[in-house]
Each structure stands twice: as C-alpha cells, then as structure tokens.
Amino acid sequence: MAAEDDKDLIEILENQNSIDVAKYMNFVSAPQAGAIATFSGTTRDTFDGKTVLELVYEAYIPMAIRCIKSVCTSARESWNLHSIAVAHRLGTVPVGETSVFIAVSSVHRADALEACRYLIDEIKATVPIWKKEVYSNGEVWKENTEFLERRSELGKKDVAVEIKEHKKELCCGTKVRVNHEGSQD
C-alpha cells in the first residue's frame, strides 16, 4: 500500500522480499538537491547475547501511513527539504535484510542529515508498527527504545505541556495513553 504526494513517497510493503533502495534514492534525487541522506534499518544477528533468526513486523497500515505523513510534514517545517521517501516492510525480515529505509534530499547536507535522523527516531517512537524478535530459543514482541524513552518522558511531565514542548505534534501522539496524574494506563 502506498501514499504519494508530489515530494513524499511513503510505502508500507507487505510480503516483500526486499526494499528496492534504488527506487527511493531515485525518487529523492533532483538537480537542485546537493545532498541525499539515507538510513537503512537492517536485521542484525544478535541481541543481548541471543541469536536472532528474523524480525516480524505488523502494522495498522492506514494509521501507519497517516502517522508517517505527519512526521514528514513535521520534518519539512523544521528543515529545508526537497524530497522524502520512507519504506517499511511488514512480515518476516531475515538477518541481513532491510526493514526500514529512509531517503531525504535537500540543498545542503545538514538539513538532509538532521531530518533523516529525526524521521527514523519519530517513526520508531510514534508510528503503529510492531516488531517481534525471533531467537534460536524463543521470541518476544519488542518496544522500541525511542518509544520507551518517549513514554518515560511523558510520565514525568504534564501531558498538555509535553505535547506543546514536543517538536511538532504528530497524528498518532504516543503509543501509550497517559492520564493527567502522569501514571500510564
């Protein structure tokens, strides 16, 4: 499933063997863009001393696309960007293969590099995509570090203040609900 604006390409890929990195690099390439920054999230073979066999991703696709679009809009408000491409696989992603790929183009490298980092951090912290790590001796659904940090920050602050202080308000907010006393529901 894809959502495409004139300068953004967002795709959630179901049952794909691999992400076509060249497709996204070509999408963001432009004569006026002097910089292209990319991020490729790849399945590694170990985690905390355990042998990882594969990752399995699930998502609520319409909301995931809406949230990624919101993150892209937020990035455009903060940096001078030409184009953004985001692809995220669902299903099984074996060791050594790419789960998520982001490409950002801009006139200057600082904007592309900073926006690329922002995009992956916000996508991991806010977009409803869930990851299961499959080990040689079991499996576990994982929460992203960015998500856990965001939840921890919200637990320490008044929610209304946190939303205003957050760089840009995103469509999906956080992946947990926090009541006004700061405890998590």
Question: Is residue 72, in this structure, part of any structural domain at all?
Answer: yes
Residue 63 lies in a domain: yes
Cβ 98 vs Cβ 18: under 8 Å: yes
Please give the residue that has the higher pLDDT: either 133 or 173. 133
Domain membership flag for residue 149: no
pLDDT band per the 50, 70, 90 thresholds, residue 175: very low
| Beta strand extents in 43-150 (DSSP E only) | 46-47, 50-59, 81-89, 91-94, 98-106, 129-135, 138-142
What's 15's DSSP letter? S
Shortest CA distance to 24 belongs to which of 45, 41, 39? Answer: 39
Supply the pTM of this predicted model.
0.79
Report residue 179 as tokens.
Answer: 């009541």
**The pair of three-digit structure tokens given for residue 16, joined into one six-digit string:** 């794909």
Domain presence at residue 166 = no
Is residue 159 domain-resident?
no
> Is 162's pLDDT higher than 50?
no
Tens digits of residue pLDDT in 22-39: 999 999 999 999 999 999
| Rounded distance between C-alpha atoms, residue 102 and residue 75, angstroms | 13
Burial class (CB in 10 A: 0-12, 13-18, 19+), 185: exposed
In this structure, which amino acid lies at residue 54?
Answer: E
The reply to whether 55 falls in a domain is yes
Number of domains in the chain: 1
Q: What is the pLDDT of residue 160?
A: 38
Domain with 129 in it: 2-143
Residues in the chain: 185
Q: Is 183 contained in some domain?
A: no
CATH number of 108's domain = 3.90.1170.40
Share of the chain above pLDDT 70, in %: 75
